[in-house]
Structure 1
């Protein structure tokens, strides 16, 4: 039998280092002995790997813990301030940004409104938002480890936005442009996928294996998580359920289809229907509903019905544990919910809705930006664990 090669041993060390680091991240504060117990790795291996992680500034010793009879063990903690990541939710009419530490805790944020502009102007505003967050980052060993961005469109695996109909963007090489500008890894994904990841990691979707995140903003997008993994389809483009046809001979959509769900159940649809009221923004409509304006409440109810129609289709196809509604329209939960739930109850198959839960995003409007930041953190850990 051939002896194991150096490459094999190096791979084993990488795997074991990853196991130890994950144990510290998930269970800290804990001792080396407890890591050995949880992972099944022998104590000598754990001690060696922990020292490597301490030398890499990813793990800290924080002092003695309680003794179980012998010498007090030294407790270990993940150094979440060893680096920082930036998350961006690039909306049709806004840019939302976050600076987070390696545990996803928010350190700083910013927000910019966007008006319909040329691509170059949007990119200029985007880089300004990122620059501002970088300047707010504390000194750290790894600095800015990466940038994650959620965008309202179809993104390929090279980080190119192939088509963003509500922004009128085609073939924008966003990943390349930003990596050239900022010299750090950049991850680009559809904002609904980012929202799904944000809710799964930090919000209402924690520990739920099958969930559909419905991002209701100017348009509608969906992030699909099946068996705890983001489902992206054979080409990486799944989740465009905002373009389900719910009306065969319906209104034309900017995607080229007719009768798309988002034409009837999105913020854009609400604003179109609200035009006769003279109220021109979601914020004004929310305030009017709060003040008891029955016309506006009826508008929200109508949107809720159409939301329920689309969600019923999703439930009948995917049979998820939960559907989570996020993005800007989640702020109207109080006035959307009754009509939405009635449509879901009427249109879903009984066995599919038996254990179904409909939730509104725990992170509210921050699901996508938190998920985008998580992409950057995840990419950093992937890189660190492969060293």
Structure 2
């Protein structure tokens, strides 16, 4: 039984009711009372407040049986928007969703500069433009979550971004000085893991999500909470050494996993070896479809190195669900079977291994969902993934 002062108990009850409404999509007051073990009087009082705040709406269902038509409650998805931003190598991507995570707007800006001040100015300009453009409802943009491909502390300060060489920058504070919105800074892999849990994998509370695009990061959700480590830096698994005295890495070590299994390094190596001006995922897909033997051998070698780190992850954390977020795995036929073939240890235990189906917007969708979670003040969200 929850005990405490009246304000605290009211806050907890509100969270339970909102979480159940979001989870069910549409639910009656009576069913909320049954599902949460709250009294009908408590549910009615809380619902009245939520209706006054435009956070939920009522719908009267049509039915033919005798008796009163049931009144159903659902989240008012159109009462606000969330903004998720992915600050990646060479590109900043923006996504706006409604309060149920449905995509409303997407935009990407190419960014040639890696300087902190330049990227800060782009973020300020775009956030303020979007804040003005999406102020057509009660709450407007309810929060901004920015995903960073580097070390983000529990204090939300950016401690190090390897590819930008940023060290100890307070992006949150700098943005809050120039923008009127609620700003949160998170690690990109955490946001990928959150997207997978919120939109697709409702049945698990033990999930690992490895992002393997420009580097390799690991988002970890245990008992529906992020596992962050002592300072918030847990999950930098791309800098686990898999080849002693191997390729040099920007982190200062040699032989880091991401030097052998990140997609950016894979594509850049082929570009340099073949003396090409560029080499993209589309170029790779074309060569795979053409049956280019050298490329197929390189991909098999890439899968092998990917499996080394994956094996280590499984043995360290014994997860229920593992998600790999990468384009190469999506375009290379039977990549998952090839990967699983290398995971033959009798010690490694996991229930499900899959490749993300959310595509390149995974990080941004996770960021949008995380902003919604903050705004609604619920412990977890279960949303349906919806295209715009």
TM-score, normalised via structure 2 length: 0.89
In the alignment, which of 239, 242, 246 is matched to residue 246 of structure 1? 242
Taking structure 1 as reference, are residues 197 and 83 closer, same or farther at Cα in structure 2, changes over 3 Å only?
Answer: same
Matched, 1:214 2:210: yes
Residue 276 of structure 1 corresponds to 273
Taking structure 1 as reference, are residues 26 and 351 closer, same or farther at Cα in structure 2, changes over 3 Å only?
Answer: same
Q: Give runs of aligned pairs for residues 121-136 of structure 1, distance below 5 A.
A: 121-136=118-133
Maintained 8 Å contact 1:303/1:336: no
Q: Measure how far apart 1:292 and its partner are.
A: 2.9
Matched, 1:31 2:28: yes
Which is richer in helix?
1
Whole-Å separation in 2 of the counterparts to 1:37 and 1:358? 35
Matched, 1:307 2:306: yes
Q: What CA deviation, in whole Å up to 9, does each residue of 1:226-279 have, x standing for no partner?
A: 233221112211001100011111122111111110011112321343022244
Maintained 8 Å contact 1:89/1:97: yes
Maintained 8 Å contact 1:65/1:74: no
Whole-Å separation in 2 of the counterparts to 1:21 and 1:113? 38
Whole-Å separation in 2 of the counterparts to 1:362 and 1:91? 19
Maintained 8 Å contact 2:80/2:139: yes
Following superposition, which runs of at least 4 residues in structure 1 exceed 6 angstroms of deviation? Answer: none
In the alignment, which of 172, 176, 196 is matched to residue 173 of structure 2? 176
Maintained 8 Å contact 2:157/2:171: yes
Q: What CA deviation, in whole Å up to 9, does each residue of 1:322-361 have, x standing for no partner?
A: 321104444444374454333333xxx31424x5432101
Q: State the aligned residue count.
A: 374
Q: Which runs of 5+ in 1 are unaligned?
A: none
Residue 12 of structure 1 corresponds to 9
Whole-Å separation in 1 of the counterparts to 2:57 and 2:94? 29
Residue 116 of structure 2 corresponds to 119
Taking structure 1 as reference, are residues 323 and 30 closer, same or farther at Cα in structure 2, changes over 3 Å only?
Answer: closer
Whole-Å separation in 2 of the counterparts to 1:113 and 1:255? 24
Residue 326 of structure 1 corresponds to 325
Taking structure 1 as reference, are residues 123 and 350 closer, same or farther at Cα in structure 2, changes over 3 Å only?
Answer: same
Q: Give runs of aligned pairs for residues 292-371 of structure 1, distance below 5 A.
A: 292-334=291-333, 336-337=335-336, 339-345=338-344, 349-353=345-349, 355-371=350-366
Residue 144 of structure 1 corresponds to 141
Taking structure 1 as reference, are residues 57 and 199 closer, same or farther at Cα in structure 2, changes over 3 Å only?
Answer: same
Q: Measure how far apart 1:123 and its partner are.
A: 2.2
Taking structure 1 as reference, are residues 67 and 53 closer, same or farther at Cα in structure 2, changes over 3 Å only?
Answer: farther
Q: What CA deviation, in whole Å up to 9, does each residue of 1:31-81 have, x standing for no partner?
A: 222222222222222222111110010111222454775322322221011
Taking structure 1 as reference, are residues 18 and 334 closer, same or farther at Cα in structure 2, changes over 3 Å only?
Answer: same
Residue 368 of structure 2 corresponds to 373
Taking structure 1 as reference, are residues 124 and 293 closer, same or farther at Cα in structure 2, changes over 3 Å only?
Answer: farther
Maintained 8 Å contact 1:67/1:73: no
Q: Which runs of 5+ in 2 are unaligned?
A: 379-388
Q: 3-state DSSP class of the match of 1:171? A: strand
Maintained 8 Å contact 1:159/1:176: no
Residue 101 of structure 2 corresponds to 104
Q: What CA deviation, in whole Å up to 9, does each residue of 1:67-107 have, x standing for no partner?
A: 77532232222101111110011111211210011111111
Whole-Å separation in 2 of the counterparts to 1:16 and 1:282? 50
- Which piece of structure 1 moves more, 319-328 or 233-242? 319-328
Maintained 8 Å contact 2:326/2:355: no
Residue 383 of structure 2 corresponds to none
Maintained 8 Å contact 1:99/1:108: yes
Q: 3-state DSSP class of the match of 2:77? A: coil
Maintained 8 Å contact 2:249/2:259: yes
Whole-Å separation in 1 of the counterparts to 2:130 and 2:298? 38
Whole-Å separation in 1 of the counterparts to 2:66 and 2:31? 15
Whole-Å separation in 2 of the counterparts to 1:300 and 1:310? 16
Q: 3-state DSSP class of the match of 2:5? A: helix
Maintained 8 Å contact 1:99/1:137: no
Residue 382 of structure 2 corresponds to none
Residue 220 of structure 2 corresponds to 224
Higher relative contact order (CA 8 A, sep 6+): 2
Residue 41 of structure 1 corresponds to 38
Residue 386 of structure 2 corresponds to none
Maintained 8 Å contact 1:150/1:191: yes
